[in-house]
Amino acid sequence: MHIQTKIICTIGPVTKSKEMLLKLIEAGMNVARINFSHGTQDEHLITINAIKEVREEIKKPIAIMLDTKGPEIRVGKVKDDILHLEPKQKIRLIKGEIKNDTDVPIHPFEVLDVLKPSQKILFDDGYIIAKVLEKEKDVVIIEIQNSGVLKSSKSINIPNVTLPLPAVTEQDILDLIFGCENDVDIIAASFIRSADHVLEIKKILSDHNQVDIPIIAKIESSEGVDNFDEIVDAADGIMIARGDLGVEVDLSLVPKLQKSMIAKCYEAAKPVVVATQMLESMINNPRPTRAEVSDVANAIYDSASCVMLSGESATGKYPIETVLQMKKIIYQAEQDFDYKGFFYKESRIECEDVSSSVAIAAVKTAYNCSAKAIFAITRTGFTTRLLTRLRPNIPIIALTKNEKKYNQLSFLWGVIPINSSEWTKEREAFAVMSHYAIENDFISFGDFVVLISSFPFDKRGITNLMLVESVGEVLVRGFKGHGNKVKGKIAKIIAVNGDSISKAKDKIIVIAKCSESYLPLFEVAKGVILQNRDVDIISEKLALRQAQKLDVPLVIRAKHANDILLDGEIIHLDAQKGLVFKVAEDELL
């Protein structure tokens, strides 16, 4: 079951072992997210190394995403770590240590300075609502609006206020440096509220020689929504973090904002992640709710690049089942997606750069010639990002020599990365991609593919070359007979004699005609190539009947097969296409 949309899994206590990581990957995980809001750097390093070991062992690209804690507002330590609150109850938000049983310390305390009477304050992801009554020096009196239990360290949200919070905290800076030193692949930056916040993080990465780590800006506040256009320009991608966003803005606006932000992301050719509470009931239950299934499917219909699991895969009872369920939902939704309609709508956007024009031409050409894949040779990932924006309904096979880029590409919609250094020219690169795509059943010999790259070949930063090529070198062209594909050695049978059976055994035989004496050869051969003329209908019917009876691959009317093919030569026979292909040199090893 191949899907185009990528799955991000948060790694936590129940999934941090190598055994569970392997199961997550086998179930469909493409990106492993590590949430730095919890745990220590030493604990995270163990997880990072485990992910690296597993992906190296199975030779599969998995991106490691570091999700920063960000400048959060949280409750400090309350009395006995828990407060039972009732409507109309008055409590004090304070800067220092608690003096009364109902004092609530707040961190960072600077936010108290911007609070005003009648302002709404939300605790614990919005489950407890309060209103500001009055403000004194270093103390704000609030009134609780509904009953609830408030624990130490719970979140605080103050909607519709510009808060005096930094882009990154001191701990975030340490975590970003840690990520640079330990070679993480992606940064998810929490509570981004302006383009300047993104640029500040980029500078930290640059100062530590990691300019190629993409920054995914998390939109979690009304300020982030207001400044979305400048943020999407500055960032390398967007995460719609619906948990905090649904607290900061009216919940009824979240679906509309999700659609709007996704649309702006694909206009900007930036990947977009939909996150939070996608299959949350599966933390405790083996099956999701119907509403959750619809939520995941609608994210696919909206054209999200990735969908993300949080507690479901970090602490849930059914992490593997959750990933499998998500993959199944994605697969069904993608079957209904109007890929061509989406492309022809989006391809009308005027392009002012060569690379975008070539990407559009590549997808259009692929549709027009029924290509089975698009091959992209990439050094920076820019080429593939342009292609994914157009959502082609065929695989995008991306070849790179850079191992880090190889893992990062697994984050992009529809991209199947290959990491190989065994090429220096276009033809060699084409051979590497063709071999991989055939081995993994993405394409077959004789299929058309579209390749895009830069020209000259080592030119960086521009995609200006497109070519259409069929996969494999065709030796002989015939017509469809019976059966599918087979690979084997050639045995030319000029006439039937006492040695013919042993010569034909487990070989692909070439015969110029078919009579009753040739029929026993079909019983031992791997395949049959019949070099009959168009008028030799008797041979053709006899061969077809025997091939169908024994289910042996057969190609008919294969002109010049005896002249071109050599005894003992290894070939690919594609009976469905009526073609004989030369085997690549690396397949002979």
Give the model confidence (pLDDT) of 324-336 as tens digits.
999 999 999 999 9
CB 201 within 8 A of CB 176: yes
Residue 218 lies in a domain: yes
CB 432 within 8 A of CB 451: no
Distances (CA, A) of 288 to 26, 256, 370: 20, 23, 38
- For residues 192 and 323, state if they share a domain: yes
- For residues 202 and 245, state if they share a domain: yes
Say which residue, 407 or 445, is predicted with more confidence.
407
| Whole-prediction pTM | 0.83
CB 529 within 8 A of CB 476: yes
- For residues 83 and 43, state if they share a domain: no
Q: Which residues are catalytic?
A: 33, 74, 218, 276
Q: What is the mean pLDDT of the chain?
A: 91
- For residues 237 and 262, state if they share a domain: yes
Residue 129 lies in a domain: yes
Distance of CA 515 to the CA centre of its chain: 55
- For residues 518 and 383, state if they share a domain: no
> Quick one: pLDDT band at residue 55, thresholds 50, 70, 90?
very high
- For residues 369 and 388, state if they share a domain: yes
- What is the mean pLDDT of the segment spanning 112-119? 89
> What's the CATH code of the domain at 44?
3.20.20.60
> What's the CATH code of the domain at 133?
2.40.33.10
> What's the CATH code of the domain at 514?
3.50.30.10
Rounded CA separation 220/75 (Å): 18
- For residues 272 and 324, state if they share a domain: yes
Rounded CA separation 181/204 (Å): 12
pLDDT above 80 for 307: yes
Domain boundary among 157, 176, 211: 157
Q: Residue 101: give the domain boundaries.
A: 74-157
- For residues 262 and 121, state if they share a domain: no
pLDDT above 80 for 473: no
Rounded CA separation 169/167 (Å): 7
Residue 1 lies in a domain: no
> What's the CATH code of the domain at 349?
3.40.1380.20
Residue 579 lies in a domain: yes
Domain boundary among 337, 355, 381: 337
pLDDT in tens, 339-353: 988 888 877 766 778
- For residues 573 and 501, state if they share a domain: yes
- For residues 101 and 247, state if they share a domain: no
> What are the beta bridge partners of residue 521?
none
The number of distinct structural domains making up the chain is 4
Looking at residue 349, its pLDDT comes to: 67
Residue 177 lies in a domain: yes
- For residues 352 and 304, state if they share a domain: no
